[in-house]
Every structure is written in C-alpha cells, then in structure tokens.
Amino acid sequence: MIYGIHHISMKCIKEDLPKVTEFYISILGLKLVREWPDGIMIDTGNGLIEIFTNADGEHCLGAIRHFALLTDHVDELINKVKAAGYEVIVEPNDKVIPSDPPYPIRMAFCIGPLGEQVEFFCERAE
C-alpha cells in the first residue's frame, strides 16, 4: 500500500549547497530536518526534498518537469524569489482546470538554484 510521496531527490555539486539552502530554507522558509556528509533533507510540510552533493556539475531538466509546493501565499513567495534574483517563468495567475468537477487554482513558477522548475500552487474553493 502506498501512503504518499516521501521525498523528491535532487543532486548538486558541494559548492551549490549554500545556494540551495538559502533558497529553500531562508527564502521559502522550509525547515532543515537532517544532514549528512553528502546531503540534506528539507521538510516541505507533507514530504521531503532530499539533496545530495555528489552531482557531476551539469544541471539538466529530466522527465519530471517540475514539483509543486502547496501554499496559500503564491504571490508573497514569488515576490521573495524575485527579490532574491531568481527567474520567474510564470507569474502568479488564476486558472480553472477544466476537470469534473472544475478545479480552481492560483499558481506561479520559478527556476530554483539547481535549474529545477518550482511551482507555487494554491487550491481555490469554487
């Protein structure tokens, strides 16, 4: 039986780790829950981001295009990301996903410190 997603994993070079911790902990306000010589785990509130420091130095976008962080503060977070100099690729906007039932959301995207696409996602009540 699957209970949910435990963590997502990314790799960086050791020299990028300060930039990664600044982005996820200082800017976004997530909590560092454990660290070891070659990595860290950051709590997102309902799952973990695991970051290993054994990458070969090349950032690439893979089969997973982005991950979404659930929040009620899309605009506030995207403003913090912008102020820190990160690229915003989709400005905050409201959409209704044409599903059954319709799914209203507010969302925005940025590029994180490792080239990853991060979505800030808010579920809206109809």
Q: What is the DSSP letter of 47?
A: S
Compute the distance between CA of residue 98 and CA of residue 102 in angstroms, rounded to an integer.
Answer: 5
Q: What is the mean pLDDT of each run of 10 residues along the chain (126 residues)?
A: 87 92 97 94 95 80 84 97 98 95 96 94 82
Cα-based distances in Å from 40 to 7, 15, 30, 62, 68: 12, 14, 12, 21, 19
**Angle at CA of residue 66, ends 62 and 71, nearest 5°:** 165
Check residue 26 and give its pLDDT: 97
Check residue 64 and give its pLDDT: 79
Domains of the chain: 7-123 (3.10.180.10)
pTM, two decimals, is: 0.90
Q: Which of 82, 83, 71 lies closest to 30 in space, CA to CA? A: 71
Check residue 92 and give its pLDDT: 98
